Amino acid sequence: MSKGFPETRTDAAMSELVPEPRPKPAVPMKPVSINSNLLGYIGIDTIIEQMRKKTMKTGFDFNIMVVGQSGLGKSTLVNTLFKSQVSRKASSWNREEKIPKTVEIKAIGHVIEEGGVKMKLTVIDTPGFGDQINNENCWEPIEKYINEQYEKFLKEEVNIARKKRIPDTRVHCCLYFISPTGHSLRPLDLEFMKHLSKVVNIIPVIAKADTMTLEEKSEFKQRVRKELEVNGIEFYPQKEFDEDLEDKTENDKIRQESMPFAVVGSDKEYQVNGKRVLGRKTPWGIIEVENLNHCEFALLRDFVIRTHLQDLKEVTHNIHYETYRAKRLNDNGGLPPGEGLLGSVLPPVPATPCPTAE
Amino acid sequence: SYTPAPLFAALNFLSHQRKWAQDKEYVGFAALPNQLHRKSVKKGFDFTLMVAGESGLGKSTLINSLFLTNLYEDRQVPEASARLTQTLTIERRGVEIEEGGIKVKLTLVDTPGFGDSVDCSDCWLPVVRFIEEQFEQYLRDESGLNRKNIQDSRVHCCLYFISPFGRGLRPLDVAFLRAVHEKVNIIPVIGKADALMPKETQALKQKIRDQLREEEINIYQFPECDSDEDEDFKRQDAEMKESIPFAVVGSCEVVRDGGNRPMRGRRYSWGTVEVENPHHCDFLNLRRMLVQTHLQDLKEVTHDVLYEGYRARCLQSLARPGARDRASRSKLSRQSATEIPLPMLPLAETEKLIREKDEELRRMQEMLEKMQAQMQQSQAPGEQSDAL
């Protein structure tokens, strides 16, 4: 993934205000291949280990947003994903839970540690989405929140005295919960994803998938994929950001066959074949959350956490954030926002690549 | 092979009345209810059932399961982008079911598009209008000249589907139910109930019952069973009432599990849900209460309570404009109904109706003459009596 800013940044500010919709990630220079007659071992490959040690020391931020009608199991799923109570379930039947009249944004942060690596996880919940009789524009508070985080980051970035490590509250991943109707997407689903897929990484999931048989699941997924394509909605991983052939083949398979993931979440354990598993117990059988024959939770977990976590952050930073930033700079006449800057002198473009915010 | 249990045969005979028939000691007029029953059933039984709720809750599958039909075979569910600007439509489908010598003409009223749009404000108004139009039509027919063959197109029951994925009634559910509860018998059901574990089902049912009470929504009350029923029946009846709203699962696919007899169900990788298994869902309860025991009561409540309420409101609103004294208001009985201008109809329509009724009269007269001629020809000694 590129670590530098596009070379044409200053030019864009001075030239005509033709905003580029999306700056393409800068392609690093192809390394000149040295004749591999290295005499002896240099140790370049230890950079991986050095990076790992640094990451372990500093830890990293990850912000995940969940959007969907109430009762689709959003909080349960996030708790299952991160194997801890990171999302407060509002589903206690006895409590007087009133559906909020407008969409609220609730961000809760937790520090999770695993194998010496610390992750500051923030789960952003959006209660009230899609629950009213009139849900027109109910995505606006969500779009506003996402843009506010970009704005916060931008303000920090243009400061003269910047923090060494800018706190990253930007939404790296938005899980959108589709109701398992078995027919197709609902108009609200389309509207939300149309508006937000250009602003944040959206990963659609089919919630409470234990109501669909295998055939129903596969038909539904096909229909949803087709509808998204017809409407020009690009969910993560977006085709245009595949870096190389390897990425493309891997992501193609995910895009065209697995997604949207049909998931089931649970925070209860049951005994199955002598093992304790997370699942749901019904009179006709026990649904095992991590059993790939039952649902695709394990696929979602591996995708979001084990293989694409870093990529989610990088696409957020290099694509979505850059788009926002370019638009803001263009709107401002090339000036970065905020006080504290004299005249229109921009800080010099650094010669060395800037470290990505972690 | 798979033979489904008889649905409508119960309409013919009320089991506990059979014992009167056999006893020679009695005069025998205790069998009168059966006679009345048989007469009306011979005419054929009309029933209009409305099914409402947002799309994707298994409504069509349940209807097909209940009545063992494939009413929705040619249905096309439009895509989301097509539904962005869709308005609610009312669709009617008719099916004739014959069972045990009884003909049932079932009309299903569907409300595709309900709850689908981004903005669902007032989306229930077309439904309310439809229900009232049926009352209007009946009022007109009842006040008309020929009342022998009134077609009853009034909605006798509305099965309202609640999502199992929510946390009880949603604002849209409440708005719809409040708009129709005084106009139609509502039976709430939880669709796709195999999404829920047993504890979740109980909690959801309780939540819905509490909300119905809070919002003062009157659902159809299954009547108390007769005091001469045995304890077992009473207990069963109480249990069935406790399970409202019914948590249902529908399926038209027959699954065969090992050596067990084939039955309808849904096969998952972790097990098979059996539609007719009372431990899996309330399908049997719903079918029993709706079809086997309370079909007639639903019609009666529609006629005696809901329709009468509509009629009273309608006629009262006619009496209000203009100065009418109390005496003339009391004249608003059935007999004088024809003297009052029928409400809400433009003049051209009224004339058309009069013409139609005239035609009907002429046709009936012709039929009468034909029948008289036939009777004169045949010198049949007597007609077969309805032996009991």
- pLDDT tens, B235-270? 878 888 888 999 999 998 888 876 677 888 999 999
- Tell me, what's the pLDDT at B41? 65
Q: What is the DSSP letter of B194?
A: G
Window B:205-234, CB contacts with A under 8 Å:
206-207
Q: Is the pLDDT of residue B206 over 50?
A: yes
In a domain, A139, yes or no: yes
Of B118, B120, B167, the CB nearest to A71: B167
Classified as helix, coil or strand, B47 is strand
Distance from the Cα of B168 to chain A's closest Cα (Å) equals: 9
Residue of chain B with shortest Cα separation from A73: B165
Tell me the three-class secondary structure of chain A, residue by residue: CCCCCCCCHHHHHHCCCCCCCCCCCCCCCCCCCCCCCCCCCCCHHHHHHHHHHHHHHHCEEEEEEEECCCCCCHHHHHHHHCCCCCCCCCCCCCCCCCCCCCCCCEEEEEEEEECCEEEEEEEEECCCCCCCCECCCCCHHHHHHHHHHHHHHHHHHHCCCCCCCCCCCCCCEEEEEECCCCCCCCHHHHHHHHHHCCCCCEEEEECCHHHCCHHHHHHHHHHHHHHHHHCCCCCCCCHHHCCCHHHHHHHHHHHHHHCCEECCCCCCEEEECCEEEEEEEECCEEEECCCCCCCCHHHHHHHHHHHCHHHHHHHHHHHHHHHHHHHHHHHCCCCCCCCCCCCCCCCCCCCCCCCCCC
Phi and psi of A124, rounded to 5°? -105, 115
Mean pLDDT value of segment B146-150? 79
Inter-chain CB proximity A287 and B270 less than 8 Å: yes
Confidence band of B327 (pLDDT split at 50, 70, 90): very low
Domain around A67 = 55-264+294-330
Residue B275 — very low, low, confident or very high, per pLDDT cuts 50/70/90?
very high
pLDDT at A55: 80
Chain A residue numbers with beta carbons less than 8 Å from the beta carbon of B56 are: 179-183
Domain presence at residue A126: yes
Per residue in A259-276, pLDDT (tens digit) is 999 999 998 999 999 999
pLDDT at A43 over 80: yes
A99: chain B residues, CB-CB within 8 Å? 170-171
Q: Quote the radius of gyration of chain A (alpha carbons, Å).
A: 22
For residue A62, the number of C-alpha atoms closer than 13 Å in the C-beta half-sphere is 23
In a domain, A169, yes or no: yes
Q: What pLDDT, in 10s, does the model give residues A92-114?
A: 433 445 677 889 999 999 998 88
Is residue A33 in some structural domain? no
A179 CB neighbours in chain B (<8 A) are 56, 165
Q: How many domains is chain A partitioned into structurally?
A: 1
Please say whether the beta carbons of B373 and B160 come within 8 A: no
pLDDT at B56 over 60: yes
Q: Residue B88: pLDDT band by 50, 70, 90 thresholds?
A: confident
Distance from CA of A80 to the nearest CA of B (A): 18
Determine the average pLDDT of the residues in B306-325. 77
Residues 70-99 of A with CB under 8 A from B: 70-73, 91, 93, 97, 99
The reported pLDDT for the residue numbered A337 is: 61
Residue B295 distance to chain A (closest CA, Å): 30
Residue A211: CATH number of its domain: 3.40.50.300
**Which pLDDT belongs to residue B350?**
63
B326 has pLDDT over 80: no
pLDDT of residue A77: 94
What pLDDT shows up at residue B219? 93
Please report the pLDDT score of residue A10 as a whole number.
43
Q: What is the pLDDT of residue B46?
A: 87
For residues B333-359, give the mean pLDDT: 59
Q: What's the pLDDT band for A216 if we cut at 50, 70, 90? A: very high
CB A246 within 8 A of CB A214: no
Question: Computed from CA positions of residues A126, A130, A134, A140, in that sequence, does the dihedral angle turn out positive or negative?
Answer: positive
Task: Please check whether residue A210 touches B, CB under 8 A.
Answer: yes
Beta strands at A173-178 and A60-67: parallel, antiparallel or unpaired: parallel
A214 belongs to a structural domain: yes
The reported pLDDT for the residue numbered B95 is: 86
B287 vs A22: which has the higher pLDDT = B287
Residue B139 has pLDDT above 80, yes or no: yes
pLDDT grade, residue B124 (50/70/90)? very high
- A48-87 per-position pLDDT tens digit: 888 888 888 888 899 999 999 999 999 999 999 988 887 7
DSSP at B120 = -
Question: How much is the average pLDDT of A145-171?
Answer: 91
**Closest residue, chain A, to B270 (C-alpha):** A285
Mean pLDDT (chain B) is: 80
Listed as own residue / partner, the contacts of A165-169 with beta carbons closer than 8 Å and 24 or more positions apart are A165/A58, A165/A357, A165/A358, A166/A357, A167/A61, A168/A61, A168/A63, A168/A313, A168/A357, A168/A358, A169/A61, A169/A63, A169/A107, A169/A122
Distances (CA, A) of A44 to A38, A49, B90: 12, 10, 72
Cα–Cα distance measured from residue B146 to residue B143, given in angstroms and rounded to the nearest whole number = 9
Residue A37 lies in a domain: no
Confidence bin at A357 (pLDDT 50/70/90): very low
The tokens 């789960």 sit on which residue?
A123
**Between B34 and B281, where is the model more confident?**
B281
pLDDT for B330 equals 43
Domain-embedded: residue A285: no
Instruction: Give residue A304's pLDDT band: very low, low, confident or very high (50, 70, 90).
Output: very high
Cβ distance of A284 and B77 shorter than 8 Å: no
Answer yes or no: do B116 and A227 touch at CB < 8 A.
no
Residue B386: which pLDDT band, with cuts at 50, 70 and 90? very low
| Percentage of chain A exceeding pLDDT 70 | 80
Among A70, A93, A186, the residue with its CB nearest the CB of B80 is: A186
Whether A227 is covered by a domain: the verdict is yes
